[in-house]
Amino acid sequence: MSVELTIEQKLVVVEETTKYIQLASELYKRPYPIIPVRFDLTGHTIGMYRQGPKGKVIRYNPLIFAKYFKENLRDTVPHEVAHYVVDVQFDRKKISPHGQEWRSVMRQFGAEPSRTAQYDLSDIPKRRYKTVPYQCECRTHQLGIRRHNKVRQRKMDYYCQQCGQLLKAVE
Ligand SMILES: [Zn+2]
Ligand SMILES: [Zn+2]
């Protein structure tokens, strides 16, 4: 059984995130507004910074964070805040996500940019994908979850437009 983050732990994570955002404001002499933190990542993604339609947000995976709390506080929090800082400073089309700009922010944070997590995630459920692979004679098809459910409920069959074969779910 995997364990969720406690309320107290979430507060620590939000505080640590805020600490790095404030540090960025000091380091780069420009105000970095505090952005929302969410604990809604699932699957094996540990953290994510995103500029979405509703604004900037940092998201963490509560199951992985709970399992490796200290490590994620040390690595994942500065990692995601550094993405935020780089996103404000640079045109994202012109740089690579973990390129020298991001690594430079990580070093300014005193964090280790090259550290890649070697976590054992075997007890963390993988994300349920929105498509399911199906096979015919000639290739693999990705069926949306609604089509997949129709096949499972025997309401619909789908055929490959190229080879004409019935599509079967890949086990
Ligand atoms: Zn990253
Ligand atoms: Zn085919």
Ligand nearest the Cα atom of residue 138: 2
Q: Which residue bears the tokens 């979405």?
A: 52
Within 10 angstroms of residue 113's Cβ, the number of other Cβ atoms is 18
pLDDT, position 2: 65
pLDDT, position 171: 66
- Domain containing residue 64: 7-108
For residue 21, report the distance from its CA to the centre of ligand 1, in Å.
16
Domain assignment present for 122: no
For residue 3, report the distance from its CA to the centre of ligand 1, in Å.
24
Which portions of the chain are predicted below pLDDT 50?
none
Domain assignment present for 116: no
pLDDT, position 60: 96
For residue 159, report the distance from its CA to the centre of ligand 2, in Å.
8
Domain assignment present for 114: no
For residue 157, report the distance from its CA to the centre of ligand 2, in Å.
14
Ligand nearest the Cα atom of residue 158: 2
Domain assignment present for 26: yes
Domain assignment present for 147: yes
Domain count across the chain = 2
pLDDT, position 54: 82
Answer whether 108's CB lies under 8 Å from 20's CB: no
Say yes or no: 76 and 152 in one domain.
Answer: no
Say what the pTM is.
Answer: 0.73
pLDDT, position 70: 95
Q: Which residue bears the tokens 């054992």?
A: 120
